[in-house]
Amino acid sequence: MIELQNVHKYFFKDEPREVHALNNINLTLEDGEFTLFSGPSGCGKTTLLNAIGALDEIDSGKIYFDKTEISALSDTARTSLRLNQMGFVFQAYNLVPVLSVEENIGFIMKLRGFSDSEIQKRVLEVASMLEIDNKLKALPNALSGGQQQRVAVARAVAAKPKIILADEPTANLDSKNSQKLMDMMKELNKKEGVSILFASHDEYIFENVRRIVKMNDGEIVDA
Amino acid sequence: MFSFALKNILFYKGRSLTTFVLTFVSTLLFVVYVSMMDGSHKSMLQNAIKIYTGAIEIYHKDYRDIGGNEYLIQDTSAILKKISQIEGVEAYTSRYETFGLLSSKNNSAASMVAGIEPEKEKSLSSISEALTEGEFLTEKSGNCIYMGVELVKKLKVKLADEVAFIGAASDNSFAADIFRVCGIFKTGSFEFDLSTSFLSRDYFDTLMLSKNKASYITIKVDDLEHVEAVNEKIARVLDDNLESLTWKTLMKTMVEAMEVDSIFGYISLALFLVVIFFVIMIYGFINVSSRIKEFGVLRCVGISNSNIFSLLFYEIFILSTLAIAVAAPIGGYICYYYSINPIVIEGIAEMYKDYGIISDEIPFDFSVFTLAWNILLIYVLNFLSILYPYFYINSFRPIEASRHV
């Protein structure tokens, strides 16, 4: 479970161009959620996702991840938390170009110390679920955008994190691939029980999630 | 991380090749440069010692400071017997030196005239090899005098000419004789060639009443690196009135010249290393700067700082090892080849004769130990060169780095 209490985040603090990116955010996210942070550009949805993902620091308030206060953790502990508990899907895929599809998918598992046989089994399982099992030996630059994003999702989900944070995952995909990706993520959420949080204003995500947290000017206007 | 680093190296071929070439060229230049520097020092030393001064010389304690016949070494044969039993002593001989006036029909000149044992001298100095005209001395050369080329010019004599000698014998009595010029030598040292002449000791001792006496005893050691240790052993067996000195004391000017040369050598070496370091570091920094987004993503997904460091370390380790593995044997072979077959530049000896250079050869030195520390230093420089890029990457927050363009 994730809990945010009175979270504030500023950009360019104490400068004339100061932006109050997160304004008194209070939110509880239960295990297994399939939730979208939505709102206009600059409303703070990506900032909120980054704060939950221990990628960015907040200025005040508290964020709890399973009763662990993320905001109080050291950089090393936050890195460890991201590695062991979280999965990330980025708008620009951000695959490791030198690794093949199967190596990209198994990358986090390898870092976490899974055995080679476990990795191989899980990679096959996730790849077939995301319909990229015929591309396992290919390098990312040989794949289409939709395929690369599916590899990114597979990488995020392979090590069985408690939560996946997906920032604009469909922004670079066409409508067909967007729908396909959402169907797959929905299935993962259902099958694997992994919580998935989206930050997006894509209608396909809007239509598929179970919960929508609407934001505007750094505040939650509807949860 | 090792296999990840290897994949990065293979994937980014241009980047890897440039780093490889930089390290290869640096290693090669560094190995050859150090070899030349060491070679020139060794050559200076060997040449200087080879001409006439021994690695170790034994004197009466007051001979060098006060001088005179009162401070000659007495009972030379007993001392030579003791020295012959010392490990590390390769050859030895006693010399009797005196100063006198040499006169020809046309001119006169003061000269140091030394009585030497010609056969033993051949293995101790390069006097015999410096022969340019006539012949070197033998035990039975009689009144033959072996003169420096500049002294010959000054006296305006030639082979077979006679020169008169006037000096003081070892008992301070008057000594005079007529010598015949049998050989002329040129060492390359102007001062030495102007002021020195030799006679066979057998003949000279009779004239100078110096049988079993010596101005000093000169010693060659089997390895110059062990000269201090051998000197200590010799000092232990000598009477209190005698002293044993190494070339470092005997040739202070030479040592100072070498030290100055060493300082300049090490300064240029340091500059060379700084250049290598910055070239590799700047290139590494440019590389890393183009990978900030990549490192940012890796840190976002949970790669720790230590893993990033390991990745950079393995990348530089693999490339350095490959470059050094190719450069070291090539550099080593170049040094080895030129240490046996030195490069010859006509006229260089004339330019550097004041530094004891008596040959036109550019000396190289080959030593496995030197090669090893050269390689180690290049490794260390390569590893140090990743520190700044690493800290630069860490100055970005993961999310900030992942969005870097």
Residue of A80, A96, A141 to mutate, interface with B, max B Cβ within 10 Å? A96
Q: Place B111 in a pLDDT band, splitting at 50, 70 and 90.
A: very high
B261 shares a domain with B356: yes
Q: Place A134 in a pLDDT band, splitting at 50, 70 and 90.
A: confident
Q: Which amino acid is at B14?
A: G
Q: Spell out which residues of chain B touch residue A88, defining contact as CB-CB under 8 Å.
A: 300-301
B164 shares a domain with B136: yes
Q: Give me the residue from B293, B294, B299 closest to A79, CB to CB.
A: B299
B218 shares a domain with B93: yes
Structural domains counted in chain B: 2
Q: Spell out which residues of chain B touch residue A166, defining contact as CB-CB under 8 Å.
A: none
pLDDT for residue B108: 92
Grouping H, G, I as helix, E, B as strand and the rest as coil, residue B219 is strand
Decide which of B213, B233, B249 is a domain's last residue. B249
pLDDT digits (tens, 9 = 90+) for B227-248: 889 999 998 888 888 999 988 8
Query: Are the Cβ atoms of A98 and B11 closer than 8 angstroms?
Result: yes
Query: Are the Cβ atoms of A111 and B303 closer than 8 angstroms?
Result: yes
B292 shares a domain with B277: yes
In sequence order, the 6+-apart residues with CB closer than 8 A to the CB of B199 are: B113, B114, B115, B116, B137, B141, B143, B144, B145, B146, B179
B267 shares a domain with B394: yes
pLDDT at B356 over 70: no
**pTM: predicted TM-score of the whole model, two decimal places:** 0.67
Beta pairing partners, A64: A3, A69
Show the CA angle centred on residue B29, arms to residues B25 and B35, nearest 5°: 150
Q: Going from the N-terminus, what domains does chain A have, and what CATH number goes with each?
A: 2-96+163-222 (3.40.50.300)
Beta strands B361-362 and B144-148 are unpaired
Q: Place B352 in a pLDDT band, splitting at 50, 70 and 90.
A: low
pLDDT digits (tens, 9 = 90+) for B276-294: 888 888 888 888 887 888 8
pLDDT for residue B359: 65
Decide which of B232, B249, B266 is a domain's last residue. B249
B218 shares a domain with B127: yes
Q: Which residue has the higher pLDDT, A99 or B252?
A: A99
**Of all residues in chain A, what percent carry a pLDDT higher than 70?**
100
**Which residue, among B279, B205, B299, has the nearest Cα to A108 in the 3D structure?**
B299
Beta pairing partners, A86: A163
**Average pLDDT in the B204-211 region?**
91
pLDDT digits (tens, 9 = 90+) for B30-49: 888 888 888 877 777 666 66
Query: Are the Cβ atoms of B399 and A90 closer than 8 angstroms?
Result: no
pLDDT for residue B49: 66
B372 shares a domain with B229: no
pLDDT at B143 over 60: yes
Q: Which residue has the higher pLDDT, B31 or A131?
A: B31
Decide which of B228, B249, B270 is a domain's last residue. B249
B377 shares a domain with B297: yes
- The 10 Å Cβ neighbour count of residue B395 is 9
**Which residue, among B350, B345, B72, has the nearest Cα to B215 in the 3D structure?**
B72
- Residue B204 lies in domain: 54-249
Q: Place B358 in a pLDDT band, splitting at 50, 70 and 90.
A: low
B204 shares a domain with B136: yes
Q: Give me the residue from A75, A98, A108 closest to B301, CB to CB.
A: A108
Residue of B1, B300, B315, B403 to mutate, interface with A, max A Cβ within 10 Å? B300
Strands (E), B10-143: 56-60, 89-103, 108-116, 131-134
B64 shares a domain with B15: no
**Of all residues in chain B, what percent carry a pLDDT higher than 70?**
94
B42 shares a domain with B107: no
Q: Place B154 in a pLDDT band, splitting at 50, 70 and 90.
A: very high
Q: How far apart are CA A144 and CA A9, in angstroms?
A: 36
Tokens of A75: 């950089």
Q: Is A107 on the interface with B (CB under 8 A)?
A: yes
pLDDT digits (tens, 9 = 90+) for A183-208: 777 877 888 788 888 888 877 787 78
Interface confidence: ipTM more than 0.85:
no
Angle between helical axes of B305-340 and A75-85 (0-180°, round to 10): 100
B16 shares a domain with B113: no
Residue of B310, B314, B393, B399 to mutate, interface with A, max A Cβ within 10 Å? B399
Query: Are the Cβ atoms of A55 and B10 closer than 8 angstroms?
Result: no
